[in-house]
Amino acid sequence: MKTLLILPPEENRRLIPRLGIMYISSFLKSNGLDVSILDCKALDFSFRDKNSYKIINNSIWCPIDWSRLEREISKIKPDIVGISAMTNDINNAHEVAKIVKRLNKKIPVIIGGVHATCMPKETLEEFPYFDILVRGEGEEIMAEIVETLERGRQIKDINGILFRSNGQILQTPVRSELKELDKLPFPDYDGVPLEIYTQFIKKTNYLDNIDATGFYLSSRGCPYHCTFCASIKVHGHKLRERSVGNVIQELKQYTKKYGTKMFWFWDDTLTVNKKRVLSLCEELIKEKLDLTISCYARVNTIDEELIRRMKQAGFRYIYYGIETGSEKVLKDIRKDITLSQAREAVKLSSKYGLYTTAGFMIGHPTDTKESIEQTIKFANDLIPLGLRLAAFWVAIPLPGTEMFEQVKNRLRTFNWPEYFYQDCNMPQAKPVFAPEGIGYTELIEYQRRAYREFRYEFVKNKILSFDILYILGVLGRRIKRVWNNLFIS
């Protein structure tokens, strides 16, 4: 039987590879199963009319040509279809399921991903064209489902799923997370059009003008309890790490095969285990891979020894989730960091030449106008310490999170696509939630102002400090952007 794994298309084509579906594909193949990936996020299933395209905040916005997607699925002739979706694309995933059922109503459609995991029963109740739902990490579960269906057996004994039976939704016991990540085969990078991702990165100058980027996962799980994070619903709180040898092996293999020298580690926070990161750095230096590496980190896991060694090993970009400039709000969202730790982490990262970036959220449930002002000011105060870039997000109470449970009775809508209209660059921007005493429009204006003031303060700081390298770098990036737009199709 032929299994087709599908990433649904989006009107907003901000292209970042989804490693989860690539891991599932490689695991199925390692079990001798016939599987392929249809990556609708990379492959252009939009209408060909270029007048319908818009570029908003480094994203390509375009309407989807569903009939063309239907023809593509029809050509593949799958026997089983698996779809992976997050909250923002769960509705489009259901549109894909409708297409599959229209082609052949006997094809079982399996849904997985963050949204399905966080709202399992609700997802099957809301979206009738999904037959089976996978909760959590999908490699072993998907393999069992496919093998069971191939043998014509019942799926009721497979742990970690929900399914329909005689008009009812039945649920099997929750499955524990994978314990030994080294036993997983490397992701099926050949199953997706990596060259399209590379071209997109070049075209939009995503990740600061890097030409080719490999996205990488060296661990799963996070021991922290941030109220806004949905990742722990999929990967759990227990930190499970691949061995350093396994990590190096994949990096070498990927670099040799695809020529990529820049990697973004997608671990929730790479730096939780200092000993392991130091060991990884030693091996990177020993192997002389000459890579440029980016990662997410927590400010309370950073010290001078770690940052110095990371820089020597090729780490160039580091992203800190600081979230707010209010100590009270930090406690409310259980971030388990302090503002002084944030200042020190930014200062150390900059001292050793890492391109230091940070993320902040506006509109936490306990945010006030005063605390939002503190967030904007704190971000600006980090510029002289070395902060190069700041992202200001309007907080989204994601399904499955503690924040969602706190405010679900106060949400503006449960229309999932509209749930993410929270970017000030969107013409239809309107947050799904606003704290008491703050309007939706006010939140967007705070976000817009935060970006505007940060850019102003950053440029002012560079000019007043006579940072010639920065000025030349800006000119170089502008020239390259023009070149890419002219000559990269």
Residues 152 and 290 in one domain: no
Residues 311 and 352 in one domain: yes
What does the mean pLDDT of the chain come to?
89
The reported pLDDT for the residue numbered 190 is 92
The reported pLDDT for the residue numbered 412 is 93
Residues 248 and 349 in one domain: yes
CA dihedral sign, ordered 404, 409, 412, 414: positive
**Distance between CA 143 and CA 27 in Å, rounded?**
7
**Distance between CA 23 and CA 191 in Å, rounded?**
10
pLDDT confidence bin for 489, thresholds 50/70/90: very low
Question: Phi and psi dihedrals of 315, rounded to 5?
Answer: -70, 125
In a domain, 176, yes or no: no
Stretch 256-272: mean pLDDT: 89
Q: Which residue has the tokens 């995991």?
A: 117
**Distance between CA 422 and CA 154 in Å, rounded?**
43
In a domain, 46, yes or no: yes
**Distance between CA 78 and CA 101 in Å, rounded?**
11
Residues 268 and 165 in one domain: no
The per-residue pLDDT for range 241-259, each reduced to its tens digit, is 999 999 999 999 999 988 8
In a domain, 202, yes or no: yes
In a domain, 117, yes or no: yes
The answer for residues whose C-beta is within 8 angstroms of residue 201's C-beta and 6 or more apart is 15, 207, 210, 211, 212, 213
**pLDDT at position 422 over 80:** no
Residues 228 and 403: beta-carbon distance below 8 Å: yes
Residues 123 and 210 in one domain: no
Residues 109 and 158 in one domain: yes
H-run or E-run covering 447: helix 440-464
User: What is the CATH classification number for the domain harbouring 286?
Assistant: 3.80.30.20
Residues 254 and 155 in one domain: no
The per-residue pLDDT for range 386-403, each reduced to its tens digit, is 999 999 999 999 999 999
In a domain, 182, yes or no: no
In a domain, 430, yes or no: yes
Q: Which residue has the tokens 């293999």?
A: 253
Question: Which two structure tokens, joined as six digits, stand for 75?
Answer: 């050509």
The reported pLDDT for the residue numbered 446 is 96
Residues 165 and 197 in one domain: no
Residues 140 and 283 in one domain: no
Domain range for 350:
193-461
User: What is the CATH classification number for the domain harbouring 106?
Assistant: 3.40.50.280
Question: What is the pTM for the complete model shown?
Answer: 0.90
**Vertex 370, ends 368 and 371: CA angle to 5°?**
65
In a domain, 466, yes or no: no
Residues 292 and 284: beta-carbon distance below 8 Å: no
Residues 218 and 141 in one domain: no
Which of 4-8, 194-198, 415-419, 460-464 is predicted with the least confidence, judged by mean pLDDT? Answer: 194-198
Domains of the chain: total: 2
In a domain, 315, yes or no: yes
Stretch 312-339: mean pLDDT: 97
Question: Phi and psi dihedrals of 279, rounded to 5?
Answer: -65, -40
Residues 36 and 154 in one domain: yes
Q: In what order do the strands lie in the sheet with 168-171?
A: 34-39, 2-7, 80-84, 109-112, 132-134, 161-165, 168-171
Boundary (domain end) residue, out of 171, 204, 226? 171
C-alpha distances out from residue 240 to 198, 227, 251, 268, Å: 29, 21, 19, 11
**Distance between CA 248 and CA 337 in Å, rounded?**
31
Residues 167 and 315 in one domain: no
